[in-house]
A = this chain, B = another copy of it.
Amino acid sequence: MIIDCHGHYTTAPKELMAFREAQLARFADPGKPEAALADISDDAIRESIESNQLKAQRERGADLTIFSPRAAGMAHHEGDEATSKAWARACNDLIHRVVTLFPDNFIGVCQLPQSPGVPIAHSIEELERCVNELGFVGCNLNPDPSGGNWQTPPLIDKAWYPFFEKMVELDVPAMIHVSSSCNPNFHATGAHYINADTSAFMQFIQGDLFKDFPDLRLVIPHGGGAVPYHWGRYRGLADMLKRPPLSEHVMKNVFFDTCVYHQPGIDLLFRVIDIDNILFASEMFGAVRGIDPETGHYFDDTKRYVDALDIPAEDKRKVFELNARRVYPRLDVALKVKGK
C-alpha cells in the first residue's frame, strides 16, 4: 500500500475559518462575542474531501494519507494560549471527523496548541486527547511559534524535553513543521518552511537530543529542507564540531519526506539519504498547486517522481509503506487491526 505521510486539510469548510476570524476578532476586542464553530454537516466535510484530497489520492494512486490541519493556519503567533488551545481543538476535531468519515483513506495527526513563551508542556494535554481519544498517530510540532521571529529556544534545548518525553511514552513521532510567517523576510512556503527544516537538522547535529531520547522520532518535511543538497556540508560540519557521524548521531531518529517538487530533487534525495530514512509524501494540497509546464503534471504529484526512480521494488515499498509504519507505530497497529 501507499501511505502519504504529509497531507493537510487545506480545503476545510469555510465555517472553520469563520470561527478563527471570530476568535481573533474577540482576542483583539474582548467586547466581541465569544467565537463558536458553526455546525458543519458530514456532507460538507465529505464534499471538501471527495473533490480534493480523496480525488487526488485516487487519481495519483495513493491509499492512505496521514492527515493534519492546515499548517499555515496554525499561526501560533496569533492570539494567546487560550486562543491556540481552542483553535487546535477545533482543527483536530475536524480532522477526526474526516478520519471517521473516510477511515480507509485518512488517519490523523494533530496540531498543537503552542504560543510564544508558553511552556511546551502545556501542549501535552491536547496531544494526549488526540492520541488516546481520537486515535491520532502523531503531531506537528512548531519549532518557531513566534511565526518567523524565532524567539523560542532551539529544539535541542531542555525546554522541549517534557514534550519529547510524552511523545516517547505515547510512541508517536512529530513532524517538525512551522506555520505562517509574520516576518516579511520569510515567505511561508517559499522560505520559512524550508529554513525551519534546515535549521532543525543543524540543531540536531549541534545537540545530543537523541542520546537523551533514543526512541524519539522526528520527521523533517519538504525533503529535509536544504539538507540533502548540502549533505557534504552537514557531514563536514558534524566532523568539525566533533560530533559522531550523522548516521549515528541524527539519522537513527530523523526522517525526511518526499515533498520535493521535481525529478532532479527527488533523485538527489534518494542518492544521498538512506532508504530507511525517506517517507513518501506529497504535502497536498499545500505549497504548490499548479501544473508543471515542463512535465504536464502537478508539481506536488510526487509519486510520479518516486515511481520514476530506478531503485529496487523493496526500496520503493519501504518509502511508500514500511518506513511510515515503522515511524508511526500506531498507524501500523491501526492497519493491522484492519488486516492490512
A61, CB-defined interface residue at 8 Å: no
What residue of chain B has the Cβ atom nearest to residue A294's Cβ? B235
Q: Bound state CA distance, A237 and B299, in angstroms?
A: 10
Known: A185-B154, A235-B292. A229 touches B265 (CB 8 A): yes
Known: A195-B195, A271-B264. A232 touches B288 (CB 8 A): yes
A186, CB-defined interface residue at 8 Å: yes
Known: A262-B272, A265-B229, A265-B268. A185 touches B152 (CB 8 A): yes
Q: Kindly list chain B residues whose C-beta atoms are within 8 Å of the C-beta of A157.
A: 184
Q: Which chain A residues numbered 168 to 185 have a C-beta less than 8 Å away from chain B?
A: 183-185
A52, CB-defined interface residue at 8 Å: no
Tell me, rounded to whole Å, the shortest Cβ–Cβ distance linking A175 to chain B: 17
Tell me, rounded to whole Å, the shortest Cβ–Cβ distance linking A203 to chain B: 7
A260→B288 contact, CB < 8 A: no
A103, CB-defined interface residue at 8 Å: no
B226→A229 contact, CB < 8 A: yes
From B261, B267, B292, contact of A230 by CB (8 A): B261
Total count of chain A residues near the partner, CB < 8 A: 58
A14, CB-defined interface residue at 8 Å: no
B264→A272 contact, CB < 8 A: yes
Q: A138-178, CB under 8 A of B: which get 1 and which 0?
A: 00000110001110111001000000000000000000000
Known: A229-B228, A237-B288, A262-B232. A191 touches B185 (CB 8 A): no
Q: Kindly list chain B residues whose C-beta atoms are within 8 Å of the C-beta of A144.
A: 185
Q: Bound state CA distance, A4 and B229, in angstroms?
A: 21
Tell me, rounded to whole Å, the shortest Cβ–Cβ distance linking A273 to chain B: 10
A213, CB-defined interface residue at 8 Å: no
A337, CB-defined interface residue at 8 Å: no
Q: Which chain A residues numbered 186 to 206 have a C-beta less than 8 Å away from chain B?
A: 186-187, 189-191, 194-195, 198-199, 202-203, 205-206
Known: A264-B272, A299-B232. A195 touches B190 (CB 8 A): no
B154→A240 contact, CB < 8 A: no
Known: A148-B150, A226-B229, A272-B264. A240 touches B290 (CB 8 A): yes
B268→A264 contact, CB < 8 A: yes
Q: Bound state CA distance, A268 and B206, in angstroms?
A: 27
Known: A199-B191, A226-B226, A262-B272. A287 touches B233 (CB 8 A): yes
What residue of chain B has the Cβ atom nearest to residue A186's Cβ? B199
Q: Kindly list chain B residues whose C-beta atoms are within 8 Å of the C-beta of A223.
A: 229-230
Tell me, rounded to whole Å, the shortest Cβ–Cβ distance linking A242 to chain B: 11
B230→A260 contact, CB < 8 A: yes
Q: Kindly list chain B residues whose C-beta atoms are within 8 Å of the C-beta of A290.
A: 236, 239-240
Q: Kindly list chain B residues whose C-beta atoms are within 8 Å of the C-beta of A202.
A: 186-187, 190-191
A96, CB-defined interface residue at 8 Å: no
